[in-house]
Amino acid sequence: MNSSPNFWPLHQQVAAIARGELSARELVLGYTERLTAFDGTLATHVELSPTALDEAAAIDDAIARGKTLGPLAGACISVKDNYLTRNMPTRAGTDVDELCFPETDSHVVSKLRDAGAVILGKTRMHEFAWGNITPPTRNPWNTDCVPGGSSGGSAAAVAAALCSSAMGSDTGGSVRIPATLCGIVGLKPTFGLIGRTGIVPHSWSLDHAGPLTRCVTDSAIILEALVGRDVNDPSSVNSPDAKYQPPADLTISGQRVGVIRNHFSERLSTDVTASFDKALIWLKQKGVEIHEFDVPNLDYGLGAIFAIELASSSAYHEHAIQRGLTRGFNPDVRDLVEMGRLVSAVDYLHAEQLRTELCKDFAKIFDTVDVVISPTSPITAWRAGQWELEIDGSLESVLAASWRFTYPFNLTGMPAITVPAGLDRNGLPIGLQIAGPPFSERKILTVAAAFEAEHSYADATPNGFN
């Protein structure tokens, strides 16, 4: 593992800054140097904060004066380009100049600043978090490959140690997919647990804010800083649990773990299957009870989330459609946004009815088990420009394949985390997904931390960027 502070997990950076062993300004300068050296290749950021060094200097000065600061003091956190920021423009991945967004801090950015974080910059994303076309961001594990989306800039930046951590948004897997493809940790919390005011929406009932980090503990620390009522977000809820960091004792013996066989074991690469089988063996060795289930309604889940997402996106972009501004969108994004107008009220209600049935299905499962595990993605990173690939003998679009295992937990609003679970035969990361019932974040974080603690590839860094 690289000894430079820029490669340390966020919680180690913050602790060193608090002790005066590392300066926040030094950390910002280190990331700035790395961005200068590597972001020409990776293209992770679209903006860098003009005030980052001044903010870091103020933190160093406050610490020198003996002042106690917040739990993220000095950490350099970048945010996806759909998070509003007061000192940097927000584009939400679009080049349409007529679409402007306020220069004010989103709820999340405000909470990060209150906790002492330095907002380092804005990360690149798919246009309006939609579509097949990946922006120029590349995967640090293989720069011929995509980082996943739509929070691809955030994932690639964290994987290449270009920031302490980053924030993303997750509508069908857009935190967890790029996190697994880039070999890092990605957390999608319970729906409403992190307020979304000031995040350019994609689908109101599916959007979640979440962190992408180098380790599980970092995700827990950031979550602790972000929970709490957002008065301007009607879906926001008060957290029933203010502490999410895993305990020192990571014993998971006796935990009940569910495996859904009819969906999460279908049409996936042999390397992903092998990785998941190894995870199951490890869990059994740790004294975990494995329970298997079938959820037949998942056969129709992808159609349901697609209908909800299409209709929601068209509703948000209705004025842009009427003004002809969607002509400036990427062709695949334009098609998806305009296609949503074809979703009928009956279609939408059927999708919501299936969503309710899936929530009931998972509620029954969680009466029996504590968490559910699966591969995060059935595939590893694919080559830039590739639209479909062969999985288990049949062709499938990379878009449909990549979110097949993540979207169920957006439909149900349940928390899910991905952790690194090895590399495929081409040296590309594989992820393990751990999900639980609403507000079970501490439980899934503990299982994730236990897995991370005994698997050395959790600290792996892409060659060429260390």
**pLDDT tens track for 434-454:** 999 999 999 999 999 999 999
Radius of gyration of the CA atoms of the chain, in A: 21
Q: What is the pLDDT of residue 402?
A: 95
The answer to whether residue 92 scores a pLDDT higher than 90 is yes
The count of other CB atoms within 10 Å of the CB of residue 425 is 10
pLDDT digits (tens, 9 = 90+) for 156-169: 999 999 999 999 99
Q: Give the model's confidence band at 298: pLDDT under 50 very low, under 70 low, under 90 confident, else very high.
A: very high
Instruction: Please give the Cα distance from 200 to 65 (Å, whole number).
Output: 39
Output the pLDDT for position 458: 60
State the chain's mean pLDDT as an integer.
96
Q: What is the per-residue DSSP string for 334-365?
A: HHHHHHGGG--HHHHHHHHHHHHHHHHHHHHH
For residue 314, the model assigns a pLDDT of 96
Q: What is the pLDDT of residue 427?
A: 96
2-6, 86-90, 315-319: least confidently modelled range: 2-6
pTM for this prediction: 0.97
Provide the pLDDT confidence category of residue 338 given band limits of 50, 70 and 90: very high
Average pLDDT over residues 409-426: 98
**Lookup: tokens for 138:** 């590349």
Which pLDDT does position 456 carry in this prediction? 76
Place of tokens 């999410």: 244
Quick check: 455 pLDDT over 60?
Answer: yes
pLDDT at 321 over 80: yes
pLDDT at 463 over 90: no
In whole angstroms, how far apart are CA 42 and each of 124, 144, 186, 243, 451? 10, 10, 19, 35, 29
**pLDDT score of 459:** 66
pLDDT mean over 76-97? 98
All domains of the chain in start order, with CATH: 5-299+348-459 (3.90.1300.10)
Q: Does the annotation count 174 as an active-site position? A: yes
Catalytic pick from 49, 106, 164, 174? Answer: 174
Q: Which of 23, 106, 150, 314 is catalytic?
A: 150
Identify the pLDDT of residue 17: 98
**pLDDT tens for each residue of 228-273:** 999 999 999 988 777 999 999 999 999 999 999 999 999 999 999 9
Rounded distance, CA 171 to CA 188, Å? 9
Q: What's the pLDDT tens digit per position in 185-210? A: 999 999 999 999 999 999 999 999 99
Tens digits of per-residue pLDDT, 35-54? Answer: 999 999 999 999 999 999 99
The contacts of residue 345 (CB under 8 Å, 6+ apart) are none
pLDDT at 466: 76
Q: What is the pLDDT of residue 465?
A: 87
State the pLDDT confidence band at 131, using cuts at 50, 70 and 90. Answer: confident
Q: Is 338 exposed, middle or buried (0-12, 13-18, 19+ CB in 10 A)?
A: middle
- Cα 283–chain centre separation: 24
> Is residue 1 predicted with pLDDT exceeding 70?
no
* Residue 334 identity: R
Residue in 23, 80, 111, 203 annotated catalytic: 80
The distance from CA 463 to its chain's CA centroid, rounded to whole angstroms, is 23
Q: How many helices (H) and strands (E) does the chain have?
A: 16, 13
